């Protein structure tokens, strides 16, 4: 248990800091309206139209900050506060998700790699820990125990790779968003400052997720090596 805490605590602290920063920057930017007075949905649609992306729908989805782009449905889904909102936060988030739609349209490789890992990662994130712990508990049956531990390590590895590939996907979408908002004159340079803060804080949450996945992988490898001693 001590080794688990040793590996997981720094990543957990980073995740907490990231969440606090996201909430703080988003709340501040939510209280600042843009000079054009466009909603997040209107900005997203305008970005798609400007880039000749005609087959992506802009829809509303339930949940706070549940915004995402769904490549299989070709749908850009915005939470109510960002779909209807006219704040800098709403526009920044909408532009970021539009950036994902542009990645899809341009066949951005890291995005396709991430999508390919989704099914395995979904299973791994839910069961890797259980499978590995079960392997530890069954170490008296050496073959079964080691097999389950190795299976857990493989799933931890795939989950970490998923979070690692997610980083360039998210950073690129944010860079596209800032560039488009600037060049399309959706926002002034002054208005872009809080938007950059929101997107940077959001990016840190993905860094924290990668750190957490890495900490679990390192813990599992360490425990596996100790079981051989």
Residue 4 predicted with pLDDT over 80: no
Reported as a single tens digit per residue, the pLDDT across 181-228 is: 999 999 999 999 999 999 999 999 999 999 999 999 999 999 998 877
Three-state SS at 57: strand
Distance CA 32, CA 214 (A): 37
Q: Quick: pLDDT tens for 84-123.
A: 999 999 999 999 999 999 999 999 999 999 988 988 888 8
Residues 148-173 pLDDT 10s:
999 999 999 999 999 999 999 999 99
pLDDT on residue 55: 94
Residue 15 and residue 59: Cα distance in Å, rounded? 29
Instruction: For strands 57-60 and 75-78, give the pairing.
Output: parallel
Asked whether 108 and 64 are in contact (CB, 8 A), the reply is: no
User: Taking CA 60 as the corner, what is the angle to CA 65 and CA 189, rounded to the nearest 5 degrees?
Assistant: 60
Distances (CA, A) of 118 to 113, 153, 155, 158: 9, 17, 12, 10
68: β partners: 77
Tokens 């599992």 sit at which residue? 220
In this model, does residue 59 exceed pLDDT 80? yes
Cα gap 79→165, rounded to integer Å: 25
Please identify which residue in the block is written with the tokens 């008296």: 140
Tell me the pTM. 0.91
Joined together, the tokens standing for residue 127 give 């069961």
Residue 98's Cβ-side half-sphere holds a number of Cα atoms within 13 Å equal to: 30
Distance CA 86, CA 42 (A): 9
Residue 207 is predicted with a pLDDT of 96
Q: Angle at the Cα of 88 (from 44 to 104), degrees rounded to 5?
A: 30
Confidence category of residue 7, pLDDT binned at 50, 70, 90: confident
Ranges of each domain in the chain? 2-228
Active site residue 97: yes
The whole-angstrom separation of Cα 7 and Cα 3 is: 6
Contact 75, 64 (CB under 8 A): no
Which among 220, 229, 228 is positioned nearest to 3, based on CA atoms?
220
Question: What pLDDT shows up at residue 229?
Answer: 61
Catalytic residue among 62, 73, 81, 97: 97
């Amino acid at each position: 248990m001590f080794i688990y805490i040793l590996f997981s605590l720094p990543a957990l602290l980073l995740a907490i800091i990231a969440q606090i920063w996201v909430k703080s920057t988003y709340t501040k930017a939510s209280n600042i309206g843009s000079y054009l007075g466009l909603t997040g949905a209107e900005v997203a649609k305008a970005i798609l139209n400007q880039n000749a992306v005609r087959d992506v729908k802009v829809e509303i989805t339930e949940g706070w900050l549940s915004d995402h782009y769904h490549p299989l449905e070709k749908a850009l889904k915005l939470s109510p506060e960002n779909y209807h909102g006219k704040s800098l936060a709403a526009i920044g988030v909408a532009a970021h998700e539009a950036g994902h739609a542009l990645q899809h349209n341009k066949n951005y490789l890291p995005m396709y790699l991430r999508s390919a890992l989704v099914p395995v990662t979904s299973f791994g994130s839910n069961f890797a820990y259980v499978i590995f712990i079960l392997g530890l508990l069954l170490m008296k049956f050496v073959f079964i125990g080691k097999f389950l531990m190795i299976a857990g390590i493989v799933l931890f590895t795939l989950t970490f790779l998923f979070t690692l590939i997610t980083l360039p996907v998210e950073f690129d979408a944010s860079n596209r968003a800032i560039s488009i908002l600037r060049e399309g004159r959706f926002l002034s340079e002054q208005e872009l400052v809080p938007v950059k803060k929101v997107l940077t804080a959001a990016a840190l949450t993905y860094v924290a997720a990668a750190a957490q996945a890495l900490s679990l992988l390192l813990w599992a490898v360490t425990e596996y090596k100790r079981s051989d001693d």
